[in-house]
Structure 1
Amino acid sequence: MKSTQLQLLKFPIGEFQKPDTISSEMINLWINDLERFPSEIDKATKVLSKEQLNWTYRPDGWNIKQVVHHCADSHMHSIIRFKLALTEDSPTIKPFYEDRWATLIDGNDDTLDDSLNVLRGLHSKLGQLLKHISEEELSREFVHPDHLKRLRIDETIGMYAWHSNHHLAHIKQAITYEGYFKM
């Protein structure tokens, strides 16, 4: 498989592109994406069998259940990052080894209920929090030590909306390919 084909499988909606200007309309669209994500992921996975939950979206990619469990793990970090940025002066966040987390027992559970429940509650809280952030608070930052850069809240809202849509596309891609890619 060519590297351009693999890149399309890895990033089916493209990589996140931070806009030069982030408007309030854009923020509202991103928050809407975040709020609807749990129901979209539930709709995409609720009729899948255990065999189908093991389908991967690309060669050497995660399977569907790992993607769902990863989203719960990653988005738990997201709300903590937002709250740290809102309550501290440019805090340095704690990154995590998502590839290692995906191999843990809960990252491979055939039952998605716990992760879907986490996503429903988390995204409800996230929506409530983000809808009430002031213009001034949108410019607050946190430091990501792995990337050695400061990230603003407004761009991070976009990154997590992209992350949600990115992984939803992975799930749909795995379903489309019906287990063609083996782990």
Structure 2
Amino acid sequence: MSFTSEIERYRQAGLDLAVAARGSSARQTRGADDSWGATMIAHHMADADMHFAIRIREVLVHENPTLSVFDEETYAETLYYNERPIEPALLLIKSIREETADLLLRLPEEAWSRIGTRTDGLTLTLSQLVTRATNHAEDHIAQIKSAL
């Protein structure tokens, strides 16, 4: 089985998120319904992508490592999502996804079944981690586009 198409989907989602966020007229930090605007989504995605990238590497390097989870609202409040410029977050997303995609393209097929277990007890394969990271970005792209 080839994972090339899933890797390309993962990489492309990061690029698509940047395009959607840069083009969004809904750049405000919070909407009237307390939803996140494009700027907050970009910072959230940058932090989430850092977490996913570390989880992917932990699964590759260690046998069934413990994978951390994070509270997105705590991150947003503590890390000043509403005050920081969007562009560095978008560049970070692109860089993380390019670097991680390059790594993933080099893996043997058997690596995709390696596992890690989150602190909440959920066990995930490398394949599932990459799919979750991709879906996460695609969900936020849809969120940004719906606010236009």
Which protein is richer in helix relative to its size? 2
Is the Cα–Cα contact under 8 Å of residues 56 and 62 in structure 1 kept in the other structure? yes
Corresponding position: 1:40 with 2:16: yes
Provide TM-score, normalisation by structure 2. Answer: 0.89
Q: Give unpaired runs (5+ residues) of structure 1.
A: 1-22, 176-183
* Runs of 4+ in structure 1 over 6 Å off: none
Alignment RMSD: 2.0
- Which protein has the larger Cα radius of gyration, Structure 1 or Structure 2? 1
Q: Which residue identity is paired with 2:66?
A: T
| 1:56 to partner: Cα distance | 5.4
| 1:41 to partner: Cα distance | 2.1
Equivalent-residue separation in structure 2 for 1:45 and 1:141 (angstroms): 33
Is the Cα–Cα contact under 8 Å of residues 117 and 124 in structure 2 kept in the other structure? yes
Equivalent-residue separation in structure 2 for 1:143 and 1:58 (angstroms): 37
Q: Give unpaired runs (5+ residues) of structure 2.
A: none
Count how many residue pairs are aligned between Structure 1 and Structure 2.
148
Is the Cα–Cα contact under 8 Å of residues 35 and 123 in structure 1 kept in the other structure? yes
Equivalent-residue separation in structure 1 for 2:119 and 2:37 (angstroms): 28
Q: Secondary structure at the match of 1:143?
A: strand
Is the Cα–Cα contact under 8 Å of residues 65 and 109 in structure 1 kept in the other structure? no
Q: Secondary structure at the match of 1:107?
A: coil
Corresponding position: 1:74 with 2:48: yes
Q: Which residue identity is paired with 2:22?
A: K
Give the alignment partner of residue 114 of structure 1, picking from 83, 88, 99. 88
Give the alignment partner of residue 103 of structure 1, picking from 57, 73, 77. 77
Alignment deviations for residues 22-49 of structure 1 (CA, whole Å, 9 cap, x no partner): x53xx33321122122322222232446
